[in-house]
Amino acid sequence: MTELLEQAITKLKTLPASEQDAIAAMILAELEDEVRWDATFAKSQDALAKLAAEAMAEHH
């Protein structure tokens, strides 16, 4: 764990349980969104390559 994350968690521990849960939910949602984005981006590589090739052809 990084020092910055440890500092954040130390401060979070001082908050009421409801606020800790709210922040934890936001963090988990952000992490899940990142996983979904990575999966979507990985699946779109062929389409992106095709679009890039078309753009380069139009440019030339």
pTM of the model: 0.65
pLDDT, tens only, 3-60: 999 999 999 999 999 999 999 999 999 999 999 988 888 887 787 788 888 999 988 8
**Domain membership of residue 8 as a residue range:** 3-59
How many folded domains does the chain comprise?
1
Q: DSSP of 1-60, one letter per residue?
A: --HHHHHHHHHHTTS-HHHHHHHHHHHHHHHHHHHHHHHHHHHTHHHHHHHHHHHHHHH-
d(CA 53, CA 2): 41
